[in-house]
Amino acid sequence: MKWINGFYLICIFLCGTLSEGAHAQTEQLMRRADSLFASGNYFESSVAYERVYFESEEPLMRITANLKKAQALKQLREYDRALADLRRSVTFSGKDSLRQEVLYEMAFCAYMDGDPGEAFALLQQFRHRYGQDSGQRVYLLEGLVLNDLRQWDALADHIESWVLNFSGDPEMAEEIAEEQLACYAEILMLKEEQRKPDPEKARLWSTFIPGSGQLYAGEAGWGMLNAFSQLASLGAFAAMAINGYYVAGVFAGLGPFQSFYFGGIRQAGLLAENNKKSRRDETLAAVREFLFSLEEKIDAE
């Protein structure tokens, strides 16, 4: 019996030794990956962190390596890859702080990858799991997401909640919130007052008065060029017809006129659409700048 017990003790010792050796090896790999990241070798560090993720059997080590790999990929602006890798850690059931970090990083990468809808869904999961247990960065990210989704009313409520929860002076929090909401409303009002040309109206103007659609869209130069091109082609047709070159007049005069006429209508619509998008982008940029300044103001209090 004592030989059997001795055999079991030897097996336990050997397994423990191998386990400790594997742990030491993954820790060494992690230190190397951290060194690569610190020296700015982000691609190499992402590969090293991936190796730690696959070779380690410890959940805590794996999620830490996954998060650090996401940081390296973010430095490379590969947000789609970072988001895909972070999905592997969604089911982690360890420390709440790490689970929060995974959800936040996923939302951040989705936003930076140009998908505010998915970022908003991930932030809603964050709120559902952790309530208001979040820092300013989560409030800032959610504000940026709501801005990109153009949910102006929801963003106003979010700004008020942000100021009330993080204002350094609780007694003045409501007053500060009102001031910030007034600034936000003024930004929206100024941007909404800017003329946003309607593409349909631009096309309609160009249908009846060549060049006027481009002028309505805010592109007077294109309007003058289009109107001149149509007049020139009609003039060429008239000159050839007077001299009896009817067939040449059709091909050299009426043909280009038709192209300039219908092309001008299409161009007016496109110019109006681009102008409208430009105005919309200006509004988004102005609100985005306001949100960053709001974070700085709250931090300074």
Domain boundaries, the chain: 163-301
Q: What pTM value is reported for the model?
A: 0.76
- Rounded to the nearest 10 degrees, how much is the dihedral formed by the CA atoms of 245, 249, 250, 251? 110
Give the span between the Cα atoms of 63 and 139, in whole angstroms: 24
Closest CA to 219 of 261, 256, 257, 273: 273
pLDDT at 195: 63
pLDDT at 75: 96
pLDDT at 13: 33
Contact 51, 32 (CB under 8 A): no
- In order along its 301 residues, the chain shows pLDDT tens digits of 444 443 333 343 334 333 456 678 889 999 999 999 999 999 999 999 999 999 888 889 999 999 999 999 999 999 999 999 999 998 877 777 888 899 999 999 999 999 999 999 999 998 888 876 567 889 999 999 999 999 999 999 999 999 988 876 777 788 888 999 999 999 888 776 566 788 898 889 888 889 888 888 888 888 898 889 888 888 888 888 888 887 776 777 788 888 888 998 898 888 878 887 888 888 899 999 999 999 998 877 6
pLDDT at 1: 46
Give the span between the Cα atoms of 85 and 62, in whole angstroms: 12
How many angstroms separate the Cα of 189 from the Cα of each of 110, 184, 193, 250, 287?
Answer: 29, 9, 6, 52, 11
